[in-house]
Amino acid sequence: MFQKNDPSFMDQLQKKTNVRPDELMKLANSVSQANLQDEKTVRQLISQVSKLANTPVSKEKEDQIVQAIVKNNMPTDFASLAKMFNKK
């Protein structure tokens, strides 16, 4: 298993996401300090992730994600999260 400070992990993460490790760490820090019960804050985080990933998020999908997070209905396992983000 990879450690978060493992250079090979960060390299693989960058290859998969095309996002620099320092940008990911900055995002992770902002998420850890964010009030995820505040809709405006959650929308800002979604926008940041969308820009970092260079993947547009439709208004409908943004609304679904916001409601899931604000109401604490967000799945915690990666497979469920991936399914949610990949739904068309």
Residue 2 covered by a domain: no
**Residue 1 forms part of a structural domain:** no
In tens, the pLDDT along 18-32 reads 888 888 888 888 888
Residue 12 belongs to a domain: yes
Which pair of structure tokens corresponds to residue 72? 């604490």
- Is 57 domain-assigned? yes
Q: Which range has the worst mean pLDDT, 9-13, 27-31, 76-80?
A: 76-80
How far, in Å, CA of 37 to CA of 86, rounded? 24
Q: Is 3 inside any structural domain?
A: no
Domain count, the chain: 1
Tens-digit pLDDT profile for residues 33-71: 888 889 999 999 999 988 988 889 999 999 999 998 888
> If you average pLDDT over every residue of the chain, what do you get?
81
Query: pTM (2 decimals)?
Result: 0.67
Q: Domain of 20?
A: 8-86
Contact 88, 56 (CB under 8 A): no
